[in-house]
Amino acid sequence: MEVSKRYRVNVSTSIKGIKTYDCTADITGGTMEEVLDASDALVKELDKRYPPTVESK
C-alpha cells in the first residue's frame, strides 16, 4: 500500500496579538510510529516558527 501524507495547520492571532496554532498530521498506509514522528516533527517546527507566548496578568 502506498503511504499518503497530509498536514493541516491553522494559525490564529488573538486580539492581544498572540499567535496560536492547531495542526494535524494524517498518514494513510503508515505505522503509528510514523504518524507520531510526523506529528512531533510538525509541532517542533511550528513551535520554532510561532514560539509559545506566556500572558502576564
Burial degree of 39 (CB within 10 A; 0-12, 13-18, 19+): middle
**H or E element that contains 4:** strand 4-13
The distance in angstroms from the start CA to the end CA of the chain is: 52
State the residue for C-alpha cell 502576564. 56
pTM value is 0.76
Whether pLDDT at 54 is above 80: no
Over the stretch 8-48, which tens digit does the pLDDT of each residue have? 999 999 898 888 899 999 999 999 999 999 999 999 999 99
